[in-house]
Chains A and B, each alone.
Chain A
Amino acid sequence: MTQALDLAGRALRATEGDEADASVHVESSGLARFADSAVHQPTLIRDASVTLRVVRDGRVGSATTNRTGDEGLEAAARRAAAAAESSPVDPGFPGLQPPAPVPEVEGYDEATAGQTPEELAESAAAAIAAAGDVGLYGYYTSAVTELAVASSTGHAVSQAMTDASVLALAASDDASGYAEATSWRAGDLDPGAVAREAAEKAARTRDAAALEPGTYRAVLEPYAISELLFYFGFTSLNALAFLEGRSYLSGRLGERLFDESFTLSDDGLDSRGYPKAFDLEGAPKQRVALVEQGVARDVVWDRRTARQAGDGRESTGHGLGPPAQGFGPIPFNLSLAGGDARSVAELAERVGDGIHVTRLHYLGVVDPREGIITGMTRDGTFRIEGGRVTEPLVNLRFTTSFPALAAGLLGLTEEVTLVNRSDFYDERYPYGTLVPAVATDAFTIVGTGSGPGL
C-alpha cells in the first residue's frame, strides 16, 4: 500500500459514513534552477494533501487540507460536509466512481525517486559545464509523486510516479538556443547532451534577419508542435468544450478535418510518456483515439461530461476532480503518431522554402472555436531555403489556425519525443506529449519581435 492510499483511507474514515471520496496527492520534489551558469534558485518541496468530497442527498461539497493528522482530516471532513449542506442539489453530479479495475502501468523508477539534493546539483552542474562559454539558464528537476483515490463505493486505487526533466536555454546578449528532455527515469536523461544541443543551436542564431508577415511553410520541432497541440487539446479535445460548442470539434466528429497523416490519441497507458492508471476522480485511464488519418473521432471525457452527453458514454479517465472539474476533462497524454520522414532535415527538404521553428513562447488562444492560436517563436528560428536550414531569423509573432496547420502537413518524423508540458505550478503532476517534428504548409506569421538572446 502506498503512503497516499493509506492517507486516503484514513481521510475517508473521517467522513464517518457519508457518501464520500478522498483523493490524495503526496509530493517530494527538487528543482535546481540555474541562470547565467550558476544554480541560484534550488528548491526542495515536500507536501501531502487530501481533498474530501462529501455527497449528501445529491448535494456536493469538497474540502482540501494538508494537515494529515486525525484532527486535520476530521476538520476537513466537517468542512466538506458543511459545503455539501450549503449547496442545492447538483443535478449534473454523476455519482462517485464505482469499484473498477485500473490498468497496470509503468512510470515509477526507484533511482529517480531517491535522488538527493547533491545529485540534483550535480546534474545541473553537468549541464552548465557542457554548455561551455555560453551562459546556461534552465533547471534540472526530479520528483516522486503518489496519487490515490478511495471512495465509500469501495473503489480504492493508487499509483506512484517519478519524473525528471532537464531544460536548457543557452544564451548571450545576441544569441539563444533551446533544448530539453524529460522521462520518468532520470537515468534516461543526459543533461550535458541537452545543454550541448542548446549551445550549438545558440551559436547559429547571431545576426538574425527579419521576415515579412505571411503564411509560410514551416518545420516545427517537437518542442514547438507539442505546445501548440496541448493548447489545442485543452480547448478543443475536451468534452466540456465540445458539448458547450466552444470546441473546434463541436459538430464535426466524423469529418475529415486534417491531413491523413495526422493521427492523434491520448494515451496514458504508453510507457514512453508519463503513464497514468487513473484520473483524479479514480476513473480508469483509457487510450482515446482522437483523430484517425485526419478524421475527427472523439474527445476525452470525465464522469460529469459522460453523464451530460447522455448517450451511454463513460468516462475515459480524464477528470480533474474537485474543485477543478469546471475546466472539464483534459488530455494530459496527447500522442501524435510519427510519419515517414527519417529526420528533421528531410522535413526541411519537403518544405523547400520556409521557416524552421525550435520553440514557442507565451501562447494565447485567440478563437477557441476556430482553433486560432497566437504566440512567439524564440531561441532558434531559421529560414529554410532550397530545402536547407540557412540564416537565423528574429523572433516571429504567429497567429495561426491549428486546424489549417494540421490539414496542411507535409510530413512528420518517424521518431517521436516526449516533451514535458508541466511548469510545476501547484501540486506536482507530471505530464507531457509524445510528438514527432512536423512540416506544414500553413504557419501564419503576422509580425516580428526582438532578436534572439537575452
Chain B
Amino acid sequence: MDALAEHAIDAAVAAGAGYADARAVRRRAQHVATKNGDVDSVSDSETEGIGVRVLVDGAWGFAGDPRLTGEGARDAALRAVSFARASASRARRRVDLASVAVASGEFAPAVARDPIEVPLEEKIALCLRADQGMRRPEVKITEATVRAMREERVFRSSEGARLRQRFVECGGGIDALAVSDDGRVQNRSYPSAHGGSSGQAGWEHVEGLGLEGEAERVGEEAAALLEADPCPAGVTTIVVDAEQMLLQVHESVGHPTELDRVYGTEAAYAGTSFLRPEDLGSLRYGSEHMNVTADPTTPLGLGTFGWDDEGSPARRQPVVEEGILTGYLASRETSRLIGRELAGSMRADGWSRMPLVRMSNLHLEPGAGTLEDLLADVDRGLYLCTNKSWSIDDKRLNFQFGTQVAWEIRKGKLGRMLRDPTYTGVTPEFWGRLDGVAGAEEWRLHGLTNCGKGQPGQHAHVSHGTAPARFRDVQVGVRQ
C-alpha cells in the first residue's frame, strides 16, 4: 500500500496538483447479533481502496477507487485533479493550509487479543448468554450485539509525510424491550443505547464490559418501566448519568466546536455553530465546573490515532477550561483561517470519503466526589439514565434529549422509577447551570460509532469520557 500511495501522489503532482495526499486503506469488520435466543445475523466484511485528495490552483478535489493497484491509484489521482481543476475555475478564494511538521512513523494500539481473530463461535456464544439473561415474561425482545474491526491505513503526502497506522476496535451491547398487554413499550440498554459501546482495544475490552452480568438488571428494569409513573413536567435539578452525558457532550460541545461548522462549511446539512472565531478565549460556555478536552491520545479511545487524516500529530487540547471556550477542533485549512495553531482533528470514513473536521475523543473532565455526593445535595430532582432520543438545532443551541429511565431524587436519595423522561435546554445556559461533576472514580470512557456528518455522509467513531453531572433549574418532562 505504501508504494501505491506514493504512486498516487506522483501522478497527482505530475498532473498539476500543488498539494496531494493519499490514503490507502484496508478494513475488515465483523458483526454478530442475536435476538430472542436466536442468531439474527453473522457478518464478516472487508473493504479496501485508495482515496486521493488534491489542491489544484487552490481548490480541492477528491476521488476514491477500490483498486489497490497502480492503475487504481493513478486513476484516483487523475480524477481528483480533474474535479479540482473544474472547481478551481469557479473558486472565489484560494485554500491555504497551515504548516505542519512533515511526519514519518507508525502507530498501533496495544491489543492483547485481536478481536477479528476471536472465533465467531465465541462471539455468538457470548451474545446468546447475555441475550438469555435478559429474558422474563414482560420482555418481548432481547438483543445482544458484538462487533470487531481492524484497519490498516497508509498515508502519504506531497510534502513528504509517510505514515502507517493500524486501528483495532471492538465492542458490544444489550437491549431489552418490554411490551405490556395493552401495548405500552419500554426499553433498557447496556452499556449504551444505539449499538452499545466500543473501544480501540483487543477482545479483552468486550469481555470487560460485563454484558452477561448486567443482563438480568437490564431485563428487570425494562419490565419495571411498564409499571412506572410518567416523568412529570417542570423545572428541577437533574443529575445526568455518565452514559447520557456522553451524548450531551457530543451534541452540545463536540459539534459546535468543530471549526468547519463555525466557518459554515456544514451549513447545508449538519448545520453551523453558535460560536464565532472571535469567541475563542473569551466566550463563557458554562460554569466553572465545565472542563472539556479533546484528546486523541486517550488509551482505548475510538478517536485515538498517531496522526490525523492529513498528517497532523495527535495532541491533547483543552476546548473549554473552567467554563471558557479555549479551543476548537480544526483542520490545517481552518487553523490557517483562524490564525491559531490548533491540534489537527481531520478524519475520514474509510478510503472513499474526504477527511472532515471530526471529534476524536472529547472528554468532560472529572470533578470531585461520587455520584452519591452529587445526589446528596439535591432536595428534589431527577437522576436521568441512558439515552433514548436526541435532537438539537442547526446552531447547536436548542436541544431536547429523552432518556430510557429516571429515578426521583428526594432529600439526597433515589426514589421511585419514572418512565419517558425528557429534558431540554439552550447550550450555554444549560452548561451554565452545571454545579458539579463527579470525580475520576465515576469517570467512564464510552465509544460510539454512529456520528454522522458530511455530504456524501460519513460515519465517525468517537469516544467520550464522562462522569455523572448535576445541573440546576432544568426544564424536564417536555412531551407533546
Contacts and interface: CB of A to CB of B under 8 A. Distances in A.
A298 B48 CA distance: 41
Contact of B183 (A251, A423, A424, A448): A251
Interface in A149-198: 167-169, 171, 176
B131 to A, nearest CB: 12
Nearest to A371: B480
Given A86-B121, A376-B394, A67 B48 contact: yes
A90 B39 contact: yes
Contacts of A61: 42-44, 120
Contacts of A37: 92
A326 to B, nearest CB: 5
B457 interface: yes
Interface residues of B, number: 87
A40 interface: yes
Contact of B389 (A62, A79, A87, A364): A364
Contacts of A237: none
Contacts of B45: 51, 63-65, 323
Interface stretch (B103-111, B207-215, B267-275, B307-315): B267-275
A3 interface: no
Given A48-B66, A450-B274, A372 B43 contact: no
A159 B353 CA distance: 25
B264 A135 contact: yes
A130 interface: no
A88 B183 contact: no
B127 to A, nearest CB: 11
Contact of B63 (A41, A44, A90, A446): A44
Contacts of B80: 44
A446 B185 CA distance: 24
Given A61-B44, A63-B44, A67-B48, A326 B33 contact: yes
Given A43-B353, A63-B44, A138 B268 contact: yes
Given A90-B38, A444-B480, A446-B424, A39 B66 contact: no
B249 interface: no
Interface in B409-434: 420, 422, 424, 426
A90 B62 CA distance: 43
Contacts of A369: 183-185
Contacts of A322: 41, 43
A391 to B, nearest CB: 20
Interface stretch (A12-20, A120-128, A257-265, A274-282): A120-128
B391 interface: yes
Contact of B456 (A31, A64, A68): A31
Contacts of A401: 480
A245 interface: yes
B222 interface: no
A413 to B, nearest CB: 25
A376 B95 CA distance: 33
Interface residues of A, number: 101
Interface stretch (B83-91, B293-301, B365-373, B461-469): B83-91
A45 B352 contact: yes
Contacts of A87: 39, 42, 120, 124
B339 interface: no
A209 interface: no
B319 interface: no
B394 A362 contact: yes
B258 to A, nearest CB: 14
Contact of B47 (A66, A82, A368): A66
Contact of A374 (B86, B353, B391): B391
A378 B141 CA distance: 37
A42 interface: yes
A148 B41 CA distance: 21
Contacts of B452: 423, 425
B424 A447 contact: yes
A130 to B, nearest CB: 13
B184 A454 contact: no
B305 to A, nearest CB: 21
A118 B85 CA distance: 9
A169 B268 contact: yes
B86 A29 contact: no
A90 B400 CA distance: 40
Contacts of A383: none
A448 B43 CA distance: 44
A105 interface: no
B140 interface: yes
A447 B184 CA distance: 27
Contacts of B244: none
Which of A118, A245, A378, A404 has the largest count of B CB atoms less than 10 A from its CB? Answer: A245
Nearest to B29: A64
A369 B352 CA distance: 37
Given A449-B398, A450-B393, A42 B62 contact: yes
B40 A326 contact: yes
Nearest to A402: B480
Contacts of A102: none
Contacts of B420: 367
Interface in A64-102: 64-68, 76, 79-80, 82-84, 86-88, 90-92
Given A36-B92, A90-B39, A376-B393, A41 B60 contact: yes
Contact of A447 (B89, B179, B398): B398
Given A45-B63, A322-B41, 6 more contacts: A31-B455, A35-B268, A42-B83, A120-B83, A137-B268, A361-B393
Interface of A: 29-33, 35-49, 51, 60-68, 76, 79-80, 82-84, 86-88, 90-92, 117-118, 120-122, 124-125, 128, 135, 137-139, 141, 167-169, 171, 176, 244-246, 250-251, 322-323, 325-326, 361-369, 372, 374-376, 378, 395, 397, 399-401, 404, 423-426, 428, 444, 446-450, 454
